[in-house]
Amino acid sequence: MQFNILLALFIVCCYNSATGQQLFMQRYPTETHKAAYQNWDVEQDLQGNMYFANSYGVLIFDGISWELLNLPDNAYCWSLAIDKKGVIYVGAEHEFGYLQKTLDGKFKYVSLTELLPEKKRSDIKSIVDIGVQGQSVFFSDQLHCYIYHDGRIDILDAPNIYFIPLDDSLYWVDAKTYTVYLYKNDTLSNVNLNLEANDIGPMDSYKEKYFLILDQANRVLLIDPSNGKKQVLSEGINTTLKGLPITRICMLTDNRLALLTDREIMIIDLNGKILGRVTSAMLGESNLWSTIFYEDARHNLWFSTDEFIGLTITSSPLAYYDKANGFKGVVFALGGQGDERYVGTDIGLYHQKQNDQFKLVPGTDGLIWNIYTLKDRSYLAHSDGVFEVVHQQATKLTTHSSVLSLCILKQSQGSIIMGTADEGIWLLTKGKASWRKHKINGFEEETRYIQEDRAGNLWISHDGKGIWKLRLNEKMDSVIEKKFYTTSSGLPSNLYNRVFKLRDQKIIAGTTDGIYCYNDANDIFEPDNRFTKALHGNTIVSLAESQEGQLYLRAWESMDEAGSFSGILVRAADSTYALLRTLFDKITWIDTGVPLTATSSGAWFGNNNKVVSYNPNQQTFYQEPLQPVIKKVIAADSTICFDCRTDGAMDIPYSKNSLMFYFNVIFNEDVEKNEFQYKLIGLNKEWSAWTDANEAHFTNLPEGDYTFQVRAKNVYNSESNIASYTFRINRPIYRTVWAYMVYSLVLALTMYWLTVLRTKRVNMQKRILEHKVHEKTKELVAMNEEILLQSEALEQQAEILKASNYTKDKLFSIISHDLRGPIRQFGEVFNMIERGYISAEEFQYKLMPDLKERANYVSTLTDNLLQWAKGQMGGIQVNKSELNVADIIHENSSLLSPQALKKSITLKAEITEGLQNVYADQDMIKLIVRNLVSNAIKFTPEFGVVEVSTKTDHDSIFISVQDNGTGLSPEDINKIVEKEYFTKYGTSGEKGSGLGLMLCREFIEKNGGVLTIESQPGIGSTFTFHLPIYKQAVQTT
């Protein structure tokens, strides 16, 4: 019993001690997504949106906002799957179906259980897994498997099935019998893998060919379902996992293995080496749930706890160490070699071996300024002196206040130059029993950076002054030669110059303008051409070189410490270097002494109370293209598109020329650092400044064609593709063709009204003149009887000529008198308004009603003239079709009712019930009815009655227009019958041209009818015409 307890304690201790570096992680707490803390499954669609099977329904995350879609009866959502078309299938409690996007951009749930017979629906239990193969979708519960394909559902008695897709095949695993089936060609067959209970544990797929299984002994096995062969993935992995409580496994894209336990997440390689962790310290008091373990399209890992949904950044080659790994304080120095690492803080020196916990090296309490390594030993520049460290043992070599730097001399072995804060430099010499120190005279400056060149010269830099080159005497107790380098010696500034030495022993200087090298021949510093293109304008703060010659750096983008960044200098074939900083842009760097060291597996960067590690051997994915999405476009207050794509320009009314664009890019790693640029082609050509806002507003856009474009960049400054949306702002209504036609009509009416006014004045003058002429004529009659006789003869000849040219004279009379005159009067009214003869009120209340009436008159006259002219020229065509006479009567009655109402005339329409359709030209019949009713109103006094009635007789429909107006004399009726033109005024002085009745008679005859007139002066008139019924006319034809 005691042995078992000790063994358990040993496993727990080992489990906790091997912490390893920590992975970056993002949290989405329940307060953010506002759903249940229980999530059972997760899927990602083709656009990158995440879908979670949540106890409250389907939880959707688009990279910015969360949306919860409740299911019928608030059912639990247990499982999700997505097919190649992007359709999301949902498995729930007693329910299954899929998600469908609506026109407003929202999702709705569509149930598939309606396809089942009603008595089978009650048999559905919890749909715990969903599989997709080709056009078929499989929903599994505790009793059945429901197969959805071709718009129907088949039911198989296959309980407790979960699915594993491999390549294009879908394997079914019976959770109780451990039997594996292959579903192919609508047939389910046993593949005879002979799995045992000990083989079954967490499962995944590997290389789309094998089952990846963690058995009960924590061995990771590969099983080939095609032949049943079983093999161990890696003995190293099995050794690492021995005794750990693994609940889920997930093979990542780059062949790393992710493991989920009840307290942490581990990432290991195929040799079993622990690469990173999400530790219990990172999770706080949250408990891991074993239900979600999912690698997304960006190669990051999703998981869930009882307090939040987590995203582990497994795609990044960066990880970190902090106090959870054992060290405390602010990091000032880094060092080590092989599998041993040292972190120097303001607390002391911490040691780590083989990725274990950091432990404080006894006796090193205090601030560690720098760490220097020579072979198997490390030396500390300590706030209390100099220490020699071997593994976890430290020996104090000397006591001294504020030692800032050390230089282990290669030209004088066993000697170390010690740089101090305010006492210059000192020499440490190793004796037989101890180390001795003595002051080196001739240099009293602060010494933070010191290097030895091949000639034995010492190079010392000062951040506020410049760089010194010192030559010591043979005893090494005095400076015998000193040269000071500033801007006069080629340096770009006297500030922030720091000396470094590369493995080729060449002295270089990090400056405010990149890296400079020392030119021994000219005794000056000059830009190092290898680095000029990569680092021009940047202030170099730290530099470290790996055994492979890889250069790592820390720098500022300007001399004022703005824009601190880290990066790698990559050597090209021509020996020049290019700067790669993309990988490190996700880190917000805090400069506290900028410690940096190259390791056997990459580099470590100090960052306040953390150490960021870089693994160059890990596969990266930041180069994968990003695709922004225009989520929504709002015009004025209307949403015009969701998930917008350019499929042709969309027309937008000018009244909605203020647009708002909402856009996004699905990149969930440090999503708050995603930025966007946009431009509206057609309005501006330049991109906007980068912004983290995911919306753009444009107001009062003028008419024209536009294309909105947006692009994004992520935390790595990787720019995306461009998303576009093309649209067109239409012309405002006041600038359309119809508007110009209205303007022309108003202008014509105005001119007509002015012409009428002028014509009245001319006529009055004419009548006065005629009266005078008449008086003069009387006086001359008596004196010129002979002339009168001759005149009478001429008049007789004129009458004959008048009769022969009556038609032409009548037309010109109408045009000159009734049309041209009113139009000229419009001009007169404008002149009178312009000169102030008529006020706005007089125009509105006195002239406007008359203008309106005259406009209607001109409209009717113009219409009749056009129809008459067509008839005279033989150009009018009769287009007969089936017509509803009742509709035409009602339409014209409504049109003329204002005219009747003005004279208080009762306008009635007595239509025979069930009136049949006629066979005639629609436009002609409309003109006939309109003219007859208009004439009836015109010649009917106030409070009169005008009635339009119909009657059916055999194969014809008779239409009559009856009034109790002034009536017609037999002479007038004869004139109409003989097509003589004459003009009469209405009961209210309305003027008529006489063309209307002529056109009516002609059009009636063209449509196979006859116009009859019954009238008595002073009693009224009845105009009747008949038209053929459609059916009889068609049969006859």
Is the confidence at residue 125, as pLDDT, over 70? Answer: yes
Split at pLDDT 50, 70, 90, the class of 149 is very high
Its pTM stands at 0.68
Q: 702-722: buried (b, 16+ CB within 10 Å) or exposed (e) per residue?
A: eeeebebbbbbbbbbebebee
Least confident interval from 418-432, 762-776, 947-961 = 762-776
Instruction: Please state which of the ranges 299-308, 402-411, 703-712, 833-842 shows the lowest mean pLDDT.
Output: 833-842
Cα–Cα–Cα angle for 592, 593, 596, nearest 5°? Answer: 115
Band the pLDDT of 17: cuts 50, 70, 90.
Answer: very low
12-16, 510-514, 810-814: which range is least confident on average? 12-16
Whole-angstrom distance, CA of residue 705 vs CA of residue 571: 48
Least confident span in 613-627, 751-765, 799-813, 953-967: 799-813
The answer to whether the beta carbons of residues 560 and 539 sit under 8 Å apart is no
Q: What is the mean pLDDT of residues 819-834?
A: 64
Q: Among 968, 945, 971, which Cα is nearest to 1014's?
A: 968
pLDDT digits (tens, 9 = 90+) for 663-674: 999 888 888 889
CA separation for the pair 396, 419 (Å, rounded)? 16
Q: Given this model, what pLDDT does residue 804 score? A: 42
Q: How far apart are CA 277 and CA 100, in angstroms?
A: 38
Q: What's the one-letter identity of residue 467? A: I
b/e per residue 476-508 (b: at least 16 CB within 10 A): beebeeeeebeeebbbbebbbbbbbbeeeeebb
pLDDT score at 1: 36
* pLDDT (0 to 100) of residue 860: 61
* Residue with tokens 């005497």, as numbered in its chain: 473
Measure CA of the first residue to CA of the last residue in the chain; give whole Å: 115
Share of the chain above pLDDT 70, in %: 87
What mean pLDDT is predicted for residues 594-611?
89
Q: Which has the minimum average pLDDT: 335-344, 806-815, 820-829?
A: 806-815
Amino acid, single-letter form, for residue 447: T
Least confident of 448-452, 783-787, 950-954: 783-787
Nearest C-alpha neighbor of 174 from the set 153, 198, 145: 145
The pLDDT assigned to 18 comes to 46
Q: Which CATH class is domain 880-1036?
A: alpha beta
Residue 450 has what pLDDT? Answer: 96
- CA-based angle 225:161:244, to the nearest 5? 70
Triad 1008, 1013, 1017: Cα angle to 5°: 165
CA distance 801 to 936: 34
Hey, which of 775-789, 831-845, 937-951, 991-1005 has the most confident mean pLDDT? 937-951
319-348: average pLDDT: 91
CB atoms within 10 A of CB 827: 17
Question: Would you state the pLDDT for residue 678?
Answer: 96
- 316: pLDDT strictly greater than 50: yes
What proportion of the chain, given as a percentage, has pLDDT over 90?
43
pLDDT band at 599 (very low <50, low <70, confident <90, very high): confident
Question: Distance between CA atoms of 610 and 599, rounded to whole angstroms?
Answer: 16
**What pLDDT, in 10s, does the model give residues 78-91?**
999 999 999 999 99
Distance CA 442, CA 562 (A): 36
Please give the mean pLDDT across all residues of the chain: 85
pLDDT at 822 over 80: no
Instruction: Determine phi and psi for 717, rounding to 5 degrees.
Output: 60, 20
Q: State residue 992's pLDDT score.
A: 64
Least confident of 197-206, 560-569, 694-703: 197-206
The tokens for 204 are 């995944």
Nearest to 1004 by CA among 973, 960, 966, 972: 960
> Residue 829: its pLDDT value, please?
66
Helices 737-781 and 848-873 cross at an angle (nearest 10°) of 90
pLDDT exceeds cutoff 70 at 939? yes
C-alpha angle 45/39/55, rounded to 5°?
110
State which amino acid sits at residue 604.
W
Instruction: Give the pLDDT of residue 831.
Output: 72
The answer, yes or no, to whether residue 319 has pLDDT greater than 70, is: yes
Domain 323-540 in CATH 2.130.10.10 = yes
**Backbone torsions φ then ψ of 187, nearest 5 degrees:** -125, 135
Residue 827: pLDDT over 70: no
- Kindly report, residue by residue over 729-749, the tens digit of the pLDDT: 998 888 878 888 888 999 999
pLDDT confidence tier of residue 998, bands split at 50, 70 and 90: confident
Question: What's residue 826's pLDDT?
Answer: 64
What pLDDT is attached to residue 4?
40
User: What's the pLDDT at 491?
Assistant: 96
List helix spans (H) across 122-245.
235-241
> Domain boundaries in the chain?
17-159+234-317, 323-540, 628-732, 737-871, 880-1036
Angle, CA of 629, 632 and 637, to the nearest 5°: 165
Q: What is the mean pLDDT of residues 616-630?
A: 87
Alpha carbons 968 and 962: distance in angstroms, whole number: 12
- pLDDT given for residue 597 in this prediction: 92
Q: In this predicted model, which residue has the larger pLDDT, 561 or 330?
A: 330
**CA dihedral over 278, 283, 289, 293, signed as positive or negative:** negative
Residue 345: pLDDT over 90: yes
The confidence score (pLDDT) of residue 497 equals: 94
**DSSP output for 595-629:** -EEEETTEEEEEETTEEEEE-TTS---TTSPP-EE
Q: Do the two domains 17-159+234-317 and 880-1036 of this chain adopt the same fold?
A: no
Structure confidence at residue 428 as a pLDDT band (50, 70, 90):
very high
Which residues 6+ apart lie within 8 Å of 618 measured at CB?
A: 254, 275, 317
Per-residue model confidence (pLDDT) at position 647: 64
DSSP 952-998: EETTEEEEEEEE-SS---HHHHHHHHTT-----B-TTS-B--SHHHH
Cα dihedral 473→476→481→487 (10° resolution): 160
Residue 729 to residue 652: CA distance in whole angstroms: 5
How far apart CA 673 and CA 313 sit, in angstroms, is 15
781-803 pLDDT per residue, tens: 767 776 667 667 667 766 655 64
Both tokens of 805, joined, read 């040219």
Q: Which residues contact 474 (CB under 8 A, 6 or more apart)?
A: none
pLDDT at position 6, please? 37
Q: pLDDT of 156-177, one tens digit each?
A: 988 888 898 888 888 888 888 7
May I ask the CATH class of domain 17-159+234-317?
A: mainly beta
CA 71 centroid distance within chain:
27
The pLDDT score that the predictor gives to residue 511 is: 94
Q: What is the pLDDT of residue 403?
A: 95
Mean pLDDT of 898-909: 88
Axis-axis angle for helices 785-804, 806-813 (nearest 10): 90
Quote the CA–CA distance of 966 and 903 in Å, as a whole number: 14
Q: What pLDDT sits at residue 589?
A: 76
Per-residue burial over 809-823, b if 16 or more Cβ lie within 10 Å, else e, is ebbeebeeebbebbb
Of 169-178, 601-610, 772-781, highest mean pLDDT: 601-610
Confidence band for 8, pLDDT divided at 50, 70 and 90? very low
Q: Residue 867 pLDDT > 60, yes or no?
A: no
* pLDDT mean over 336-354: 90
What is the distance between the alpha carbons of residues 381 and 378, in angstroms, rounded to a whole number? Answer: 10
Domain 628-732 has CATH 2.60.40.10: yes
What integer pLDDT is reported at residue 846 of this predicted model?
Answer: 61
For the ranges 350-364, 852-866, 887-901, the lowest mean pLDDT is seen at: 852-866
The stretch 902-909 carries a mean pLDDT of 88
